[in-house]
């Protein structure tokens, strides 16, 4: 909460109360955090694969923790372990100092990593489809793809409709996942 409220606009005494209220309002998310952390800890402690859902598992292999994603790709937590204080840690780059160091993680952070990884995999699927349609993807930013469509080839609006459909089509490894594409046409890249 401190990092999210860098301006200090929320009084210190209200921070924990806000956290507690959010957790009470979202018990299924909190339960999923706990399930993921428990699975990761068990995988590390018992050096085995632990399934969280039908499409998600953690495994410990070669001193590293892997989160197996629905797409078949994995996230690696390098040299993961439970430290003497009981915290789940791994080696990585500190995003503030840019130094290689031991990083602590927990259920909520693991789920954030999973969410971002699955979103990336969905975008990769859509980008593959759009590329196969013959469109030139010039870059992507988080959950956006920027496609260069020559005006002489076809109307930009028609291309946008086709691209949005490609982004909304079901993904084999994510049956039932609601997807939607949305976009706009412009002469140069800008945020919507």
Predicted confidence (pLDDT) per residue in 83-93, tens digit = 999 999 999 99
pLDDT in tens, 143-161: 889 998 877 655 778 888 9
* Residue 75, SS3 per DSSP: strand
R_g of the chain, CA atoms, integer Å: 21
Query: In this predicted structure, what is the pLDDT of residue 174?
Result: 93
Query: In this predicted structure, what is the pLDDT of residue 19?
Result: 85
Average pLDDT of 168-181? 92
Whole-number mean pLDDT of the chain? Answer: 91
Whole-model pTM: value is: 0.86
Query: Is residue 57 within 8 Å of 50, Cβ to Cβ?
Result: yes
Instruction: Provide the token pair at 138.
Output: 């010039």
- In which residue are the tokens 């997807």 written? 179
Could you tell me which of 121, 104, 94, 106 has the C-alpha nearest to residue 30? 106
């Amino acid at each position: 909460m401190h990092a999210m409220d860098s301006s200090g606009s929320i009084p210190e005494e209200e921070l924990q109360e806000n956290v507690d209220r959010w957790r009470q309002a979202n018990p299924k998310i909190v339960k999923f955090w706990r399930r993921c952390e428990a699975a990761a800890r068990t995988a590390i402690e018992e050096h085995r694969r632990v399934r969280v859902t039908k499409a998600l598992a953690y495994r410990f292999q070669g001193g590293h923790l892997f989160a197996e994603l629905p797409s078949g790709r994995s996230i690696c937590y390098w040299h993961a372990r439970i430290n003497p204080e009981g915290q789940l840690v791994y080696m990585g780059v500190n995003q503030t100092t840019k130094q290689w160091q031991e990083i602590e993680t927990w259920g909520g952070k693991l789920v954030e990593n999973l969410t971002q990884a699955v979103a990336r995999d969905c975008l990769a699927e859509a980008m593959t489809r759009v590329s196969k349609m013959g469109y030139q993807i010039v870059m992507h930013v988080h959950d956006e793809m920027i496609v260069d469509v020559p005006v002489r080839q076809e109307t930009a609006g028609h291309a946008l409709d086709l691209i949005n459909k490609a982004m909304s089509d079901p993904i084999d490894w994510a049956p039932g996942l609601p997807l939607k594409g949305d976009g706009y046409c412009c002469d140069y890249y800008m945020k919507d």
